[in-house]
Structure 1
Amino acid sequence: MTAALLAVFIGSSIRLAMPLLLAAIGELISERAGVLNMSIEGMMLAGAFGGAVGAWATGSPSLGLLVGLLAALPVALIQAFLTVVLRANQIVTGLGLNILVLGATTLAYREIFGARSRETIPGFPAWTPPLLGDIPVFGEAVFRQVWLVYAAIVVVILAAFVLRQTAIGIALTAAGDDPRTLERAGLSVEALRFGAILMTGMLAALAGTFLSIGDIHTFTEGMTNGAGYLAIAAVIFGNWTVGRTVVACFVFGAATALQFQLPAIGLDVPNALLIMMPYLLAFLAVAGLVGRQTAPRALATPFRR
């Protein structure tokens, strides 16, 4: 592989990993608080659709981003109400919401854009930070990205700091590990979990809008294509830590980038195998074949006073 192809591969891996990274950090926050948020796929899809419609209707990708965030909020609120207030099964409610959002966005998409439309919508342009773009060979290929890529890096740093260095981070971890002790300390487990789910919704919406108005500048039916489930697998792969979750997202992003890179360098690999690679890695993670996994002790367990 030449240096130019390597640079393109790295840049593509970063771009493809970013929506997974945003969603996975949101899922990590939720799971650290004790909620297995299976509806993250639906939240991403709602954000992608809201962002696309908002940008198409207003001509502004910035307003589209705002609409995308608002579109995912009802999904997060329903998920929080069902799992925290009503104490419903977290897996069943999450999958149900995913199906609901898929049906709703498909119907609305066909009504607004028409069946099988590929209408281009306004989106964010790629941008190269000063100095980094001047690096020979790698500058433009690696660092020319939508600003949401750099925002995602900031989100990761903030999440790591909050979870490890602040009182709210310690309380969130306690909500997932030992909610009884947290309750005896006078803090509300329900409020912390409710807030964690809403934060997950916002980050998942940001990931969805990245897909529709940050990357391909259009919307297609079910365009998240299982990215939310990959984000959940990345959290498991990362053993519920920020650093390892970031690594997992980049591994998944690189596996997806190989679908386009291997044919470019002349390697004849079946396309079906390349498409399968990210999901195979996710399967290995969920199966526990990438090392011992230590989940929050109260994960997916409804809290009762």
Structure 2
Amino acid sequence: MSTTGLSPAPVPTAGPVIDTVPVVSRKVPIIFGVLTLGMVLILVFAPQDGETTFRLAASTDFVALPELTVPSMAGAWTLTAVCALLTAESVRRYVGRRSTPVWVLAVFAVAWMAGFLTWAAAGESVPVVGLLAGSIALAVPLVFGALGGVLGERAGVVNIAIDGQLLFGAFAAALVGSLTGSPWVGLLAAMVAGALVALVLGLFAITYFVDQVIVGVVLNVLVIGLTSFLFSQVLATNTPALNTPPRFPRVPIPVLGDIPLVGPVFFRQTAIVYLLYIVVALVAFALYRTRWGLRVRAVGEHPKAADTVGIKVNRTRYRTILLAGAIAGMGGAFYTLVSVPQFNREMTGGAGYIALAAVIFGKWDPIRATLAALLFGFATNLQGVLAVLGSPVPSQFMLMLPYVITIFAVAGLVGRSRPPAADGVPYRKE
């Protein structure tokens, strides 16, 4: 049969093509612009004469880097110009509907901070190794607390009780470490103490469906009151026997500890800091590369679907927050087994809330939360360094600097962060 003259069959189409425009946050270029403008105003209205010296090596370094001396105003203006160029690059990318890459953020942060220090320390010498090493030390409890917060919220439990876990861990480490004479046993006791606080959190939040934020705040207040009472009634009356724990000694790692600048900062630390490196790597690997991590993220995102495929939602949440509490307790041990060889009232100073901010700033990711905690530790240490150098920055500003950076980071740099879908929502099996 001839098909001559027949029109071909129409070709089906997939439907109309819809152009999508990527949503790019304008917060980064705005923040870059504000910081750069602020630096310009500082240099214009408060110039500092003299030279600034950056000491890049410690006295015990095997290979000592030479000191770097720069004219204060010229160096600060040069670095401010670098910040202006990076701001322009960020604006260009925003106009082109592209996000600012991480390397631009990192270079801007280093350039702006170096410029600020060059101006603030005019005529003085900045101990770079001491500044960075002190930042690591101050950030250790924050990192442990942030990791505990990430694990808890990934499983769907808002862990407001991080501060209570840190404080109770510090108390248990001091008491048990003093009784046994072993910092390792004190560290183990701190982990148990943090897990106990997490257990109470789970009991009310998971089993009895109490509002998790309220439970966390109440637990923090409860731990403050309990440890303060025990300190005054037990520890203070018998300090030599009950509140004089041994400290972890510094253990330099051969070869790595001799690397200029990096070695003294990262590889001449105590066992808790080295343990922190391992915990960060393990949590990041387990959360994204193991079946356990998949189950944890499943119960935090869609617990009903997880239950459908046979995952015990509440059991998984209990196990995860107990692990999170134990990790946060390790951070508390740092206060009494490394930083100060005894327990004092409210010695965490609200660090748990800063750790919670690091969780949000880090978008509920263990690596990003660790970097955020390091940022907050740097801000805290910077205020002390500026005070020692006699900086013209008002002392009141230096005292509030860590908290200003915390608010600024959470409110301005997080962008469109989204917590786990079931975070803070108790699961009721129907």
TM range (shorter): over 0.9
8 Å Cα contact 1:183-1:189 kept in structure 2:
yes
Matches within 5 A, 1:10-159: 10-114=132-236, 120-136=244-260, 139-140=263-264, 142-159=266-283
Q: Which residue of 2 aligns with 1:244?
A: 368
Q: Is 1:212 aligned with 2:212?
A: no
**For each residue in 1:44-85, what CA deviation from the matched residue of structure 2 results, as whole angstroms up to 9, or x when unmatched?**
111000001111222221221122222233212111111111
> 1:235 corresponds to which residue?
359
Aligned to 1:175: 299
CA contact (8 A) 2:363 2:414 kept: no
Tell me: CA distance 1:196–1:142, structure 2 relative to 1, closer, same or farther (3 Å). closer
Q: Which residue number corresponds to residue 274 of structure 1?
A: 398
Structure 1-normalised TM-score? 0.94
**What is the rounded CA distance, in whole Å, between the counterparts of 1:270 and 1:153 in structure 2?**
36
Secondary structure of residue in 2 paired with 1:192: helix
Report the 3-state secondary structure (helix = DSSP H, G, I; strand = E; otherwise coil) of the residue aligned with 1:14: helix
Report percent identity of matched pairs: 39
Higher-RCO chain (CA-CA 8 Å, sequence separation at least 6): 1
Count of paired positions: 304
Between the aligned partners of 2:182 and 2:305, the Cα distance in structure 1 is 48
RMSD: 1.8
Change beyond 3 A, Cα 1:87–1:252: same
Distance 1:285 1:9 in 2: 21
The one-letter code of the counterpart of 2:367 is G
Partner of 2:74: none
Q: SS of 1:287's equivalent?
A: helix
User: Contact between 1:73 and 1:201, CA under 8 Å: does it hold in 2?
Assistant: yes
Superimposed CA distance per residue, residues 193-250 of structure 1 (whole angstroms, 9 cap, x where no aligned partner): 1111101110111000011112222211001111111111001000111221111011
Bigger CA radius of gyration: 2
**Cα distance in 1 between the residues matched to 2:394 and 2:181:** 40
Cross-structure match for 2:75: none
Moved more, 180-189 or 65-74: 65-74
Pair 1:272–1:126, CA change in 2 (3 A): farther
Q: Does the 8 Å contact 1:236/1:285 carry over to 2?
A: no
User: Does the CA-based 8 Å contact 1:47-1:207 persist in structure 2?
Assistant: yes
Partners of 1:93 and 1:14 in 2: CA distance: 31
1:289 Cα offset (Å) = 4.6
Cα deviation digits, residues 137-195 of structure 1 (max 9, x gap): 65445532111111111111111111111111111111111111101111111011111
Report if the CA contact (8 A) 2:168-2:223 is conserved: yes
- 2:289 equivalent in structure 1: 165
Contact 2:142/2:351 (<8 A) preserved = yes
TM-score (norm 2): 0.67
Matched AA of 1:72: G
Q: Following the alignment from structure 2 to structure 1, what is the Cα–Cα distance between the partners of residues 142 and 360? A: 13
**SS of the counterpart of 1:113?**
helix
Deviations 1:87-144 (A, max 9, x none): 11000111111111100100111122328x7965311111211112223465445532
Counterparts of 1:232 and 1:241, CA distance in 2: 12
Contact 1:10–1:142 (CA<8 Å) still a contact in 2?
Answer: no
Amino acid at match of 1:85: T
The one of 226, 229, 235 aligned to 2:350: 226
- Give the residue type in structure 1 aligned to 2:391: L
Q: Which runs of 4 or more aligned residues in structure 1 lie more than 4 Å from their structure 2 counterparts after TM superposition? A: 117-120
Structure 1 letter corresponding to 2:189: V
Q: 1:218 to 1:271 in 2, by over 3 A?
A: farther
- Contact kept, 8 Å, 2:170 with 2:190, in 1: the verdict is yes
CA distance in 1, matches of 2:215, 2:309: 30
- Whichever residue aligns with residue 275 of structure 1, its letter is L
| C-alpha deviation, 1:268, in angstroms | 3.0
Matched-pair contact (CA < 8 Å) for 2:177–2:186: yes
Flag the 1:71–1:246 CA change in 2: closer, same or farther, 3 A: closer
- 1:7–1:142 Cα contact (<8 Å) kept: no
Q: What residue is the counterpart of 2:25 in the other structure?
A: none
Aligned to 1:2: 55
Alpha-carbon separation, structure 2, partners of 1:155 and 1:137 = 24
5+ long unaligned stretches in structure 2: 1-53, 58-126
Distance change >3 Å, CA 169–CA 57, structure 1 → 2: same
| Deviates further, 285-294 or 22-31 | 285-294
